Amino acid sequence: MHLDQPIGWLFFIVALVGVWAVLRSLKKRQMFPLVFAALTVILFGWFGIATLIFGGIPA
């Protein structure tokens, strides 16, 4: 694991903010922001975890 990659941590923090946005959108029952927040969580979460595990762009 490459836990020293700052871009991976940045992606992970953005994914956490996206989780907060998903919960807020569910609470207010707004579907358009919910879709964008869910896509943010999926995309940034995937890239964050992949960056922390594999260490960025493969050589």
- Per-residue pLDDT of 19-48, as tens digits, reads 999 999 999 999 999 999 999 999 999 999
pTM over 0.85: no
Does the pLDDT of residue 3 top 90, yes or no?
no
The phi-psi region of residue 55 (left if phi > 0; otherwise alpha if psi is between -120 and 50; otherwise beta) is left
pLDDT at 33: 93
**Contacts by 18-22 with C-beta closer than 8 Å and gap 24+?**
18/44, 18/45
Q: What share of the chain is helix, strand, coil (3-state, %, to 5)?
A: 80, 0, 20
> What pLDDT score was predicted for residue 58?
61
- Would you state the structure tokens that stand for residue 39, as one six-digit string? 């896509």
